[in-house]
Amino acid sequence: MTTSLRSLLFIALTTLSLASTGLLNTASAATAADLDQDSRHALQILYKANPVAETMSRTAKAVLVFPKVIKAGLVFGGSYGEGVMFSGSKVDSYYNTVTGSWGLQAGAQSYAYAVFLMTDKAVKYVRETKGWEVGVGPTVVLVDQGLAKNLSSSTLKDDAYAFVFDQQGLMAGVSIEGTKISLIKR
């Protein structure tokens, strides 16, 4: 079985698993207007909790915001959410985020995340790929509280910086490594 076929099968099983729990419907039922509003609100939550993110937004070429990602798993798991890419304050396009995982896991949670695309190269890559897998392509740095304290305009050297925030639920840890981000029509 090829790697792409295995990946497709895994994503299909993960989606079925999420759909059976009803969580997928709550993550994907948003209209474009709802996504716009929810994404703007999520950014305000992030900026209040982490002011360095707001500072980064002023120099970012674009910001991908996923205001509600639902993650569930029992050995096999997955996550799904929809979001917006902002260029400045304007909506550029809409994306979904899908992650599949396996291993010791049980539970469900929701969270939000934002990816600040700092270079034109990173924005072009996201726009032109049929599905951007985080960890392949532009370099993404996951910003935690410790790193956030040391970031400044002179230390921002990578293509993209990601913030995970507003976590709720009963599942340990969130990683965006291996997440696939794809353009959707709205």
CA–CA dist 57, 9 (Å, integer)? 37
Are residues 16 and 8 in contact, defined by beta-carbon separation less than 8 angstroms?
Answer: no
Residue 119 — φ and ψ, nearest 5°? -125, 155
Q: Does the predicted model carry a pTM greater than 0.85?
A: no
CA–CA dist 50, 54 (Å, integer)? 7
CB neighbour list of residue 167: distance below 8 Å, 6 or more residues apart: 109, 110, 111, 174
CB neighbour list of residue 27: distance below 8 Å, 6 or more residues apart: 18, 68, 69, 70, 80, 81, 82
Per-residue pLDDT for the chain (186 aa), expressed as one digit of tens each? 555 445 444 544 444 444 444 444 444 456 999 999 999 999 999 999 999 999 999 999 999 999 999 988 777 788 899 999 999 999 999 999 998 877 666 788 899 999 999 999 999 999 988 778 776 667 777 786 544 444 545 556 688 899 999 888 776 555 566 789 999 987
Q: Which of 61, 107, 79, 74 is nearest to 15 (CA)?
A: 79
If you count them, how many residues does the chain have?
186
